[in-house]
């Protein structure tokens, strides 16, 4: 009743099936499935993945901090522009802008413009209306460029989305113990960093468009710390994405390089 079959292994290490009937076909399928199993990651590889994931988490935190605050750029009038004891400056980000009134006596005597924004004074902050009603904002008689500001904000949101997707891939890879999800995670993090840097470039163009909209009020502009956070985060995310690409390789490039040097010597 039993059909005989043999699982043979030749001198080259290749596995073959010898037998007749349906049992031989089933045995061949089982052998193929055993050969195609997804390789499990080792403890050392898991530790390296966790370390690279920590680096990417630092980039995610910096991105959220930079995109959630309104200190991307500071626009300052001359501290003697109004001719009284106070002067005004503005700072804004992707979503919100603030007008601050500072005391001239608190400003550094060597500084010609009003600021910095960290000095004590009155503040009036409002969210931009081009996200809701489509209206441009007016800052010191200068009009914002709605299209550029919206483009920078959309790229920032796409960047955050790709970060979340990359983090989910790494968490799944660590939970399953397989390196299969490392390549899609690396793609997500690299694309997220590129989108964050593009958001910075477009935002800077929107600042230049704002300054050129009206020349009746001279302003001094300076990029602030929120934008620096996003720029640093973009570089960190791209770096962590390349780390995940290296960790997803079936071999260690460092060991291969060292073995090549040893053979050369």
pLDDT by residue (tens digit) across 16-51? 444 555 554 455 545 444 445 556 767 778 888 899
Per-residue pLDDT for 75 more than 90?
yes
pLDDT of 214: 80
What was the pLDDT predicted at 98? 92
Residue 125 clears pLDDT 70, i.e. is over it: yes
* Model confidence at 217: pLDDT above 60: yes
Between residues 183 and 2, which one has the greater pLDDT?
A: 183
The pLDDT score that the predictor gives to residue 226 is: 94
The pLDDT value recorded for residue 264 is 55
pLDDT at 207: 93
Domains parsed from the chain with CATH numbers: 5-35 (no CATH), 43-264 (1.20.140.150)
Between 175 and 22, the higher pLDDT residue: 175
Q: Does 211 have pLDDT greater than 50?
A: yes
Q: What SS3 string covers the chain?
A: CCCCEEEEECCCCCEEEEECCHHHHHHHHHHHHHHCCCCCCCHHHHHHHHHHHHHHHHHHHHHHHHHHCCCCEEEECECCCCCCCEEEEEEECCCEEEEEEEEHHHCCCCCCECCCCCCCEEEEEEECHHHCCCCCCEECCEECCHHHHHHHHHHHHHHHHHHHHHHHHHHHHHHHCCHHHHHHHHHHHHHHHHHHHHHHHHHHHHHHHHHCCCCCCCCEEEECHHHHHHHHHHHHHHHHHHHHHHHHCCCCHHHHHHHHHHHHC
The residue-averaged pLDDT of 65-80 equals 91
Q: When comparing pLDDT for 56 and 179, which is higher?
A: 56
With a cut of 90, say whether residue 236 has pLDDT above it: yes
pLDDT for position 178: 79
């Amino acid at each position: 009743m039993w059909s005989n079959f043999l699982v043979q292994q030749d001198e080259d290490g290749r596995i073959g099936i010898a037998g007749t009937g349906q049992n031989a076909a089933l045995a061949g399928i089982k052998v193929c499935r055993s050969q195609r199993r997804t390789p499990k990651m080792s403890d050392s590889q898991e530790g390296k993945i966790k370390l690279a994931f920590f680096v990417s988490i630092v980039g995610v935190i910096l991105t959220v901090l930079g995109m959630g605050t309104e200190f991307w750029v500071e626009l300052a009038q001359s501290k003697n522009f109004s001719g009284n004891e106070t002067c005004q400056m503005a700072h804004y980000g992707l979503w919100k802008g603030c007008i601050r009134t500072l005391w001239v006596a608190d400003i550094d005597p060597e500084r010609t413009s009003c600021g910095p924004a960290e000095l004590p004074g009155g503040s009036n902050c409002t969210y931009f209306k081009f996200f809701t009603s489509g209206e441009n904002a007016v800052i010191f008689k200068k009009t914002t460029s709605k299209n550029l500001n919206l483009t920078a904000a959309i790229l920032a949101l796409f960047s955050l989305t790709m970060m979340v997707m990359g983090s989910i891939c790494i968490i799944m890879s660590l939970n399953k113990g397989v390196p299969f999800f490392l390549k899609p995670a690396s793609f997500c993090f690299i694309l997220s960093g590129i989108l964050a840097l593009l958001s910075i470039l477009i935002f800077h163009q929107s600042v230049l468009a704002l300054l050129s909209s009206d020349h009746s009020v001279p302003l001094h502009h300076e990029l602030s710390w929120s934008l620096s956070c996003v720029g640093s985060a973009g570089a960190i995310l791209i770096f962590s994405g390349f780390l995940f690409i290296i960790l997803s390789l079936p071999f260690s490039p460092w060991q291969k390089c060292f073995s090549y040097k040893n053979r050369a010597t």
